[in-house]
């Protein structure tokens, strides 16, 4: 597993091994396995990130690199969906966060499944893995974003019981904005 900040490291790792075994057995008939990402998966994960950015009409905004992911690997967790051929077909990348209103939370930065594999319940398996981690870590909230125009994703999340909040807007500063702030 890619290490990220957590409170009960040993217990969490044991839980992950158990959860991975369950998913491997459960999805064997589907020809894929959900497993912890390794550093060797970073090129494929970055490829999925770029594919997602293209889908979201913003490929030029991806500045991350495999080298950067290696340097920052302790800041995030990631699970991949691996097809029986060894191809990485999906991923869920997340990190722990602290929200003032509720406390410890898990932020799902990206969940993505290659289009050709979207009818195999891969997204459901990845999202279930994220919620398993949130429960094991005693998180009070799981949060992520979805683009307003991505109706198929919105329907998927609503079907899973997510509340889609249309009131809040993002406020971002990129690296130049951070450097040049005031």
Q: Determine the pLDDT at residue 20.
A: 45
pLDDT at site 169: 81
Q: Looking at the domain assignment, is residue 4 inside a domain?
A: no
| CATH number of the structural domain spanning residue 137 | 3.40.630.30
Residue 21 has pLDDT above 90, yes or no: no
Q: Could you write out the DSSP letters of every residue in 131-177?
A: HHHHHHTT-SEEE----TT-HHHHHHHHHTT-----S-------HHH
Among 107, 157, 173, 181, which one carries the catalytic annotation?
157
Nearest of 82, 66, 136, 73 to residue 106 by alpha carbon: 136
In a domain, 52, yes or no: yes
Asked if residue 66 belongs to a domain, the reply is yes
pLDDT on residue 16:
42
Residue 29's pLDDT is what? 58
User: For the chain, what is the domain count?
Assistant: 1
Helix (H, G, I), strand (E, B) or coil at 118: coil
Does this model's pTM top 0.85? My answer is no
Overall average pLDDT of the 161-178 stretch? 88
Residue 34 near residue 22 (C-beta atoms within 8 A): no
The whole-number pLDDT of residue 74 equals: 97
79 is a catalytic site residue:
no
Residue 39 has pLDDT above 60, yes or no: yes
Asked whether residue 2 is domain-assigned, the answer is no
65 vs 3, more confident: 65
Look at strands 77-83 and 88-99 and give their pairing.
Answer: antiparallel
- The residues, ordered by sequence, that sit 6+ positions from 122 with a Cβ below 8 Å of its Cβ are 30, 32, 81, 89, 90, 113
| Structural domain contains residue 88 | yes
Q: Which domain holds residue 89?
A: 9-180
* CB-count exposure of residue 146 (10 Å: 0-12, 13-18, 19+): middle
Indicate if the pLDDT at residue 148 is higher than 70. yes
For residue 122, being part of any structural domain is answered with yes
């Amino acid at each position: 597993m890619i290490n990220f900040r957590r409170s009960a490291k040993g217990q969490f790792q044991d839980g992950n091994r158990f959860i991975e075994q369950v998913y491997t057995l459960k999805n064997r008939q589907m020809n894929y396995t959900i497993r912890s990402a390794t550093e060797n998966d970073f090129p494929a994960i970055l490829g999925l990130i770029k594919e997602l950015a293209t889908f979201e009409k913003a490929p030029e905004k991806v500045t991350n690199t495999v080298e950067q992911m290696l340097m920052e690997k302790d800041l995030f967790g990631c699970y991949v969906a691996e097809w029986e051929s060894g191809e990485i077909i999906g991923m869920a990348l997340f990190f722990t966060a602290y929200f003032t209103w509720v406390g410890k939370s898990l932020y799902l930065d990206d969940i993505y499944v290659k289009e050709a594999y979207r009818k195999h319940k891969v997204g459901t398996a990845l999202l279930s893995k994220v919620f398993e981690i949130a429960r094991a870590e005693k998180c009070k909230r799981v949060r992520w974003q979805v683009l307003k125009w991505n109706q198929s994703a919105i329907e998927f999340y609503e079907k899973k019981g997510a509340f889609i909040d249309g009131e809040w807007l993002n406020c971002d500063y990129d690296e130049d904005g951070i450097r040049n702030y005031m």
